[in-house]
Amino acid sequence: MRDLDPRSKLLMVICISTLAIVYQEPMQLLLVLLVSTLILFLVGADLKKVMQPLRKMLPLLLLLFLVQCIFTRQGAPLLTVYGIGIITDMGLNTGLGVMLRIITIIISAMILLSSSERDFLLALVQWKIPHEIAFMVMVGLHFLPILREEALNVYYAVQMRGTELQKISTSQKLKLYTLIMLPIISGAIHRAEQMAISMEARAFRAFPQRTYMRKLRLKKIDYCVQIGAVLACVSLLVLP
């Protein structure tokens, strides 16, 4: 499974995400989560890397869980304080569902990280997606870490000019974040312009046909995985 074609991985991710969005019951979502974790393990993804964003998102996930638990009023009360129902069974179900759904989508997206971005570009092109669009998607993904680093630099710079982030109000923080966006957007536009010039200077779209040095070829296991993923997804959605 480690050498799986990126198209097979993309198809699995689409199937998992679809199930995660359609399913509402925590037990069903837990099952989808377990399957996607197993696939992640089988494709050879670095589990430590997977845990990092999940760990960072944990407070947000818990907050979402609590908000859903408390503000869903339907269902039978499970926890009451002075006769007022705080948590209902439906609230608990909804909270768990939201949390599991987000974790599943993140984990399924991590399956894609086990292939290189160049392979994904080839995969999208071989799926007859126009090269310009596939290239744009890949460039977008490629620049995300750079944008993150730039945002961090501005964030540090703002603090180094005397802003105590812990001590300012939320409205001041929001104002500050709009300031932080200024160099990031400006940098992104500047980089896009430079890149466009550099690409055109190297004949991007100058000729009607573009060739590739490598071609992805589906193996037997890819056919099995793709057919299996689509069949499993459709039957799970159709079956009562």
Partner 1 sequence: MSLNIHQLGYTYPGSRKAILHNVNIDFRSGEIVALTGDNGCGKTTLTKLLVGILKPKEGCICLDGNDIALMSLAEIGRRVGYVFQNPSQQIFCPTVEDEIAYGLKNMGLGGEEIEKRISYYLDYFELSTYRQTFPLSLSQGEKQRLMLAAILAMHPRYVILDEPTTGLDIYRRKLLGDYLLRIKTDGYGVIFVSHQSKFMETYADRIIRIENSQVTDDQGEKSDARS
Q: φ, ψ for residue 203 (rounded to 5)? A: 65, 30
Considering the rule CB under 8 A, would residue 154 count as an interface residue with partner 1? yes
Among 157, 195, 196, 224, contact with partner 1 (rule: CB under 8 A): 157
Which range in 104-112, 135-143, 163-171, 193-201 contacts partner 1 by CB under 8 A? 163-171
Considering the rule CB under 8 A, would residue 18 count as an interface residue with partner 1? no
CA-CA distance, 181 to 187, in Å (whole number)? 10
Among 56, 164, 169, 208, contact with partner 1 (rule: CB under 8 A): 164
Considering the rule CB under 8 A, would residue 187 count as an interface residue with partner 1? yes
Considering the rule CB under 8 A, would residue 150 count as an interface residue with partner 1? yes
Which range in 100-108, 111-119, 132-140, 178-186 contacts partner 1 by CB under 8 A? 178-186
Q: Which two tokens stand for residue 231?
A: 């069949």
For partner 1, the closer of residues 161 and 214 by Cβ is 161
How many residues bind partner 1 (CB under 8 A)? The answer is 21
Measured from the CB of residue 188, what is the shortest distance to partner 1 in angstroms? 11
Which range in 3-11, 73-81, 161-169, 194-202 contacts partner 1 by CB under 8 A? 161-169
Question: Smallest Cα–Cα separation from 156: which of 170, 176, 140?
Answer: 176
Considering the rule CB under 8 A, would residue 183 count as an interface residue with partner 1? yes
**Stretch 21-80 residues interacting with partner 1 (CB under 8 A):** none
